[in-house]
Every structure is written in structure tokens, then in C-alpha cells.
Amino acid sequence: MGIKEDIRDIIDDKIKEDYLKKFRKEVDFHHKVAYRFEKAYRLGKKMTMKKQALNLEIIEIISEHSDYIEQDPLALFYCLYFCIYYNNPDLVEFLRTLIKKMDTS
């Protein structure tokens, strides 16, 4: 390997690190929310208590990632999409209220 390749590798690694730092919370939020909506859908058919517990987890995740959500409010529309896709009307009113509160801020 030459010096050019070494420099390119170092720069590529630096870019990857910066990218991961910047978008880790975003990816973490989307993965956690998607997983819980899907799980609530599957389990909610037979065990409504499980669905309620998972809905509370979704609310908790939204709360934990509030800094990210303030930065990118479309993340809440991502959650609304999952409410429709996974037929979870229980969270729609919560998200609607949250969106209204953000709109007035």
C-alpha cells in the first residue's frame, strides 16, 4: 500500500466515525420504534396486555429520543405511519397531541 491508500483509509474511517456519531441516535430510534410496533401488532392480537406494555415502551422511546425528535419532527410522522401500517390506533391520539404541542413551541 502506498501513502495515498493509507490517507484514503484514514479519511474513510474518520468519515465513518463521524457518520456513526451523527446518525446513531436516529438509527437507534427508528429501529427501536419499528421493532416495537411490529411486536405489538403480532402479540396484540392474542395478548392485549402485551400490546399495552409495548405501547408504553414506544412512548418511553419517544421520550428518550426527544432531542432527536425536536431536531427532526418528521420522526413522529414515521410513528404515525406505523400506527396505520400496524393498525395501532391506541397511540394515534398521543402522537397527535405531541405534534400539536411541538407546533405551538
Mean pLDDT of the region 85-103: 88
Asked if residues 44 and 50 have their Cβ atoms less than 8 Å apart, the reply is yes
pLDDT digits (tens, 9 = 90+) for 33-84: 999 999 999 888 888 888 899 999 999 999 998 888 888 888 888 899 999 9
Asked if residues 92 and 80 have their Cβ atoms less than 8 Å apart, the reply is yes
Burial of 63 (0-12, 13-18, 19+ CB in 10 A): exposed
Res 3: pLDDT: 74
**C-alpha of 50 from chain center:** 20
Instruction: Report the SS3 class of residue 74.
Output: helix
Res 105: pLDDT: 59
Question: Would you list the domain boundaries of the chain?
Answer: 3-104
Q: Please give the Cα distance from 97 to 14 (Å, whole number).
A: 40
